[in-house]
Amino acid sequence: MIEETATVVAATPDHIWVEARARSACSSCGTQDSCATSSVSKLFGMRRQQLRLPNQFTSSVGEQVIIGVEDQVMVTASLAAYILPVVLMIVTAIAADIYGISDKQQAIVALLGLLLGLFSAGVLTSNRLMQRYFQPQLLRKITPHPQPRTQPLSASSLKGRGEQEFLLQEIPYERS
C-alpha cells in the first residue's frame, strides 16, 4: 500500500475533503541541490490536490490523516497512462507499414495512434466504476505525539483539549 499524509480542509458528518501535496521525485533525492531538474521543479512549486473521502473516523478540519492506494491500483493506472498509448502508437505504425504507406504518413499515423491511446486511457479511467477503483482510501488519523518535556511539571493533573483529565506521574528530571 502506498501511503501519504494529508490535511483535512473541510468536513461534514458524511465526507471530508483532504489536501495532500503532490511532491516531485526531486524532493527526496540526495543530490537535489546540484541538479538542474530539481531547479526546474522548484519553479513550478508544489501542487495541491483535494480529494473527497468518506468521514469514517469523524475527522475535523485541520487534522492530519493517512490516505492510501493499493499497489495494484498504481500498477493499473501506470499501465493505462504509459503503456496503452505507446502500444497503440506502435500497432498503428506497424499497420501503416504493412499497408505500404510512406514514411511521412507512417509518422502521422503513429502520432494519431498515440493520441488515440491517450484518449482511450482517459476514457478508461474516467468512468464511474474505475473512479471508485482509483479512489484513495482513508486509512487512519494521525494522533499527535506528546512533546517531550524540557522542565518538570508541578501539577498532579492537567486538563486537555477535550476537558478530560490526564494524570501525570513524577518523572525524575535530569539537567544536562
- Residues 114-133: tens digit of each pLDDT: 999 999 988 887 877 776 77
- Report the amino acid identity of residue 119: F
Burial of 175 (0-12, 13-18, 19+ CB in 10 A): exposed
pLDDT at 110 > cutoff 90: yes
Cell reading at 143: 494522533
Return the DSSP state at 70.
-
Q: Which residues contact 84 (CB under 8 A, 6 or more apart)?
A: 117, 120, 121, 124
The predicted pLDDT at position 31 comes to 64
| Per-residue pLDDT at 38 | 61
Pairing label, strands 64-69, 47-54: unpaired
Residues of the chain with pLDDT > 70, as a percent, come to 65
Distance CA 91, CA 76 (A): 21
For residue 113, pLDDT beyond 60:
yes
From 4-13, 39-48, 75-84, 151-160, the region with the lowest mean pLDDT: 151-160
Instruction: Give me Rg for the CA atoms of the chain.
Output: 26
Question: If we measure between CA atoms, which residue out of 7, 12, 124, 4 comes closest to residue 58?
Answer: 12
Write down the pLDDT at residue 51.
Answer: 83
Q: What is the pTM of this model?
A: 0.55
Instruction: Look at residue 7 and tell me whether its pLDDT is greater than 70.
Output: yes
137 or 103, which is more confident: 103
**Angle at CA of residue 24, ends 20 and 28, nearest 5°:** 100
Give the alpha-carbon dihedral of 112, 118, 123, 124, to 10 degrees.
Answer: 120
